Amino acid sequence: MKLEGYRREDGKVGIRNHLLIIPASVCASEVAKAISERVNGAVYIPNQHGCCQIGPDLELTTKVLVNFGKNPNVGAALVVGLGCEGVPTKKVSEEIAKTGKMVDYVVIQENKGTVNTIAVGVKKAREMAEKLSLMKKEEIDISEITIGIECGGSDTTSGLASNPAVGYVSDKLVDLNGTSIFSETTEFIGAEHILAKRARNEEVAQKIMKIVLDCEKKANTMGVDLRSGQPTPGNIEGGLTTIEEKSLGCIYKGGTRTIEDVLAYGDMPSGKGLYIMDTPGQDIESITGMLAGGAVLIIFTTGRGTPTGSAIAPVIKVCGNPESYERMKDNIDVNAGTIIDGTKTISDVGEEIYSQMLEVINGKFTKAESLNHREFGIYKMISTF
Amino acid sequence: MLKLAVVAHKDDNVATTVKDLSKGENVLVDIFGTEKNIMLKEDIPFGHKFAIKDIKKGEEIFKYGEEIGQATQDIKEGEYVHVHNVVSERGRGDLEVDAK
């Protein structure tokens, strides 16, 4: 299938052409939302942070907002700030502008409050929307695509069906010189030794072991059994007994190829191939990290069923549980339950997901896209102050 | 014949059901070429696990050929294996607190 996408000024390839309205902080979120609602093609991200954060947390929020703006699915961006928050509105805008795409910003305290800022923002956004509408798709190659792989609402079918099938897709993409990122460090606990064996070199293997150890240590500082949060109550109801069992099933989603490196949360890969990103197991935060890392499409496996989408990227939902698929067809794109009932093989379903992925690259809406699911959440290390 | 339960690795001591199964049911499991008939001693819901051999208290539960936790009591072949008789050995901040 011939693939088409948007070739950006920095050479990256996007498969959507969004105008992204970025609130620099939670204080600017409502105004950003109002601007996005008035302008055709605009989307916004509900940022809950950006103010009274310190050190690494402030840097992380700033980086994620900048990298969301840099994501190749974003054709243009408008940053909306209150004016007194920690995240510097103008600097976020300038950083995104380094990609060469259209960017502007508007500050509430400099524009006489909500009403006038919305008016000024809508005017700027409308002009950008018009220019975006003139952009043409070009022929692209599959090797220019970066995907993120997520699993959520897992049950025991995830490790037996949907994750291995998506792992097949990841392997295929990597073999075609594309890029695949998988994440969720919590869900490597108990399976890290298997991943470490697939590392490009000893240094990368050590990084994998370290992020998992750090994650487990952090959980242990709470003084409780991790099982109060992981596996989740739904995971346990679905048959997953321990985090080890969940992890061993989870890692199948990353396929079998060499792991090139471990990325910090929200960082972009430096080359092609398969990467791990250090994120929590919480789906929204994990997906947000991978999109900041430049993924243009997410493949999301589930057993219990989940509605999650994103403002800036299509999310393809793959379900390994035939009963959940029937129950939640509104949210699920591919039925991998056929592996469980024995009518299809892992590679059959892998091919099915791959061909769906090509259609989605070319513009077909996923269920999450057509239902306007636009979840967003930045991982936080410590509290606000 | 439709599968009733899956054994993920030859070294495993549990099988995962792919249908709701009932106490007293005889389930044929394929353990990588060796077929074994197991009589279920309890109801096992879809996606949950039962022992395919006797497991002693303190022994490891194996799935995917890897350790997924430890048995907190003796588990007989055909018995339900889940959070009531298996504990995780990872992320146990509670044990660190107890040790202090």
Q: Mind listing the pLDDT tens digit for each residue in A6-52? A: 999 999 999 999 999 999 999 999 999 999 999 999 999 999 999 99
Residue A3 contacts by C-beta under 8 Å, 6 or more apart in sequence? A139, A140, A141, A142, A145, A358, A361, A362
Tokens at B36, concatenated: 């074994």
Q: How confident is the model at residue A145 (pLDDT cuts 50, 70, 90)?
A: very high
Q: What is the mean pLDDT of chain A?
A: 96
Tokens at A168, concatenated: 């097949």
> Could B68 and A225 be called an inter-chain contact, meaning their C-beta atoms sit closer than 8 Å?
no
Burial A350-362 (b: 16+ CB within 10 A, else e): bbbbbebbeebbe
Residue of B nearest to A247 (CA): B68
Of A220, A245, A342, which has the smallest distance from its Cβ to B91's Cβ?
A: A220
List A138's β-bridge partners, or say none.
A5
Point out the least confidently predicted range of A220-229, A279-288, A311-320, A365-374: A220-229
> Could B91 and A159 be called an inter-chain contact, meaning their C-beta atoms sit closer than 8 Å?
no
Can you tell me the distance from the alpha carbon of B76 to that of A42, in angstroms, rounded to the nearest whole number? 60
* pLDDT recorded at residue B2: 58
Q: Would you say domain A3-138 falls under CATH 3.40.50?
A: yes
Q: Is the dihedral of CA A155, A161, A166, A171 positive or negative?
A: positive
pTM for this prediction: 0.95
Q: Report domain extents, chain A.
A: 3-138, 142-370
With vertex at residue A52, the alpha carbon angle to CA A48 and CA A54, rounded to the nearest 5 degrees, is: 110
- CB-side neighbour CA atoms (13 Å) of A233: 0
Of A224, A245, A303, which has the smallest distance from its Cβ to B63's Cβ?
A: A245
In this prediction, what percent of chain A has a pLDDT beyond 70? 100
Q: Residues A336, A319: contact at Cβ < 8 Å?
A: yes
Rounded to the nearest angstrom, the minimum Cα separation between A225 and chain B is 5
Amino acid letter at B37?
Answer: N
Q: What is the mean pLDDT of chain B?
A: 93
List B67's β-bridge partners, or say none.
B62
- CB-side neighbour CA atoms (13 Å) of B63: 33
Q: Is the dihedral of CA A72, A74, A76, A78 positive or negative?
A: negative
Averaged pLDDT, A306-329: 97
- Residue A225: its chain B contacts at CB < 8 A? 88, 91-94
* pLDDT recorded at residue B99: 79
A323: number of Cβ within 10 Å: 18
- Residue B96: its chain A contacts at CB < 8 A? 220, 223
* Cα distances (Å, whole numbers) of residue A247 to A217, A238, A347: 17, 14, 22
Q: Residues B5, B27: contact at Cβ < 8 Å?
A: yes
| pLDDT for residue A300 is more than 70 | yes
Can you tell me the distance from the alpha carbon of B65 to that of A5, in angstroms, rounded to the nearest whole number? 43
> Could B88 and A242 be called an inter-chain contact, meaning their C-beta atoms sit closer than 8 Å?
yes
Residues of chain B with pLDDT under 50: 1
Question: CATH assignment of B5-99, given 3.30.43.10, 2.30.130.110, 3.30.420.40, 3.90.70.10?
Answer: 2.30.130.110
Q: How confident is the model at residue A229 (pLDDT cuts 50, 70, 90)?
A: confident
Rounded to the nearest angstrom, the minimum Cα separation between A242 and chain B is 5
- Whether chain A has a CB inside 8 Å of the CB on B98: the answer is no
For chain B, positions 69-88, list CB contacts with chain A under 8 A.
Answer: 69, 81-83, 86-88
Can you tell me the distance from the alpha carbon of A24 to that of A22, in angstroms, rounded to the nearest whole number? 6
Distance, first Cα to last Cα, chain A: 52
In this prediction, what percent of chain A has a pLDDT beyond 90? 94
- Backbone torsion region of residue B44, taken as left when φ is above 0, otherwise alpha when ψ lies between -120 and 50, otherwise beta: beta
- Residue A342: its chain B contacts at CB < 8 A? 2-3
> Could A342 and B68 be called an inter-chain contact, meaning their C-beta atoms sit closer than 8 Å?
no
B82: number of Cβ within 10 Å: 17
Can you tell me the distance from the alpha carbon of A152 to that of A302, in angstroms, rounded to the nearest whole number? 5
Scanning chain A, the segments in alpha helix (DSSP H) are: 29-38, 55-70, 89-97, 114-133, 156-157, 163-175, 192-196, 202-220, 233-237, 243-250, 283-292, 322-327, 337-340, 346-361, 367-370
Can you tell me the distance from the alpha carbon of A160 to that of A233, in angstroms, rounded to the nearest whole number? 20
Q: Report domain extents, chain B.
A: 5-99
For residue A295, what is the DSSP state? Answer: -
A101: number of Cβ within 10 Å: 22
Residue A236 contacts by C-beta under 8 Å, 6 or more apart in sequence? A227, B82, B83
